[in-house]
Copies of this chain bind each other. A is one copy, B any other.
């Protein structure tokens, strides 16, 4: 995927306010993810909340095949106009990878239409992400499950629409389960929600987690030749009588 262009977005708040987080992610969570993707051959840029228009101008999005999104403490500070712009690009074909606490981001909730609420607990507990669909490209390279020693727990009932494909299903030490890898199509765009990744645990330094994010980016990238279509008022394809004049339009 030498020509897939990825923009890695991060709210970049915890890293600047908290030493524990800064130590784990000295270049920000965006830096860690961007590096992991660049190493795997993607053409990678970053953008953060603090930049003008959060770094997500029309120009940037026009040049983006797949956007990854991490947010947690500052969902409300994301400008509604930027959210609408991102949404339009997704519906127009841009891939979107929604990471961890971004389940509560404006953009994900807008695209899902639900609350995206869930159970959670911070206890540095063990998580296992079991592969449910081994033939899915997002699961490539994984053997049975990914094991994380320290994870925040997310538990069901996760209020999202049923995914098109459930790729990963998580087990937590404290007793819960979670649909942790979910694919969706919205408009012309492909979306992947991927659960792992907390600011106080070094999850994005994990090789297997990086592999899945890279797989997801590759899967979500739009094709240059994808199907086209028209919408709106349409002439008939068959020779039919169109003289009905009862319209109130």
Contact = CB atoms under 8 A, between A and B. Distances in A.
Most buried by B among A21, A136, A222, A234: A234
Given A142-B227, A230-B144, A91 B237 contact: no
Given A162-B185, A187-B159, A244-B123, A227 B131 contact: yes
Interface in A96-115: 110-115
B128 A227 contact: no
A246 B25 CA distance: 14
A187 to B, nearest CB: 5
Nearest to A220: B135
A123 B248 contact: no
Given A113-B110, A161-B161, A225-B141, A155 B130 contact: yes
A91 B117 CA distance: 11
B159 A231 contact: yes
Interface in A131-145: 131-137, 139-144
A169 B159 contact: no
Nearest to A246: B200
A132 B122 CA distance: 22
A237 B176 contact: yes
A6 interface: no
A161 B174 contact: no
A237 B134 contact: no
What's the dominant secondary structure at chain A's contact region?
loop
A59 interface: no
A246 to B, nearest CB: 4
A121 B242 contact: yes
A75 to B, nearest CB: 14
Given A20-B248, A119-B231, A135-B226, A236 B128 contact: no
A246 B110 contact: no
Given A17-B248, A184-B161, A237-B175, A231 B118 contact: yes
29 contacts: A20-B248, A73-B248, A91-B115, A111-B113, A115-B187, A119-B234, A120-B232, A123-B241, A124-B244, A128-B175, A128-B237, A130-B155, A130-B156, A131-B229, A134-B157, A135-B185, A135-B222, A140-B223, A144-B157, A144-B228, A147-B237, A150-B244, A156-B229, A157-B229, A162-B165, A164-B165, A165-B185, A166-B166, A173-B236
Which 5 A/B pairs are nearest by Cβ-Cβ distance? A175-B237, A174-B236, A124-B244, A134-B227, A139-B227
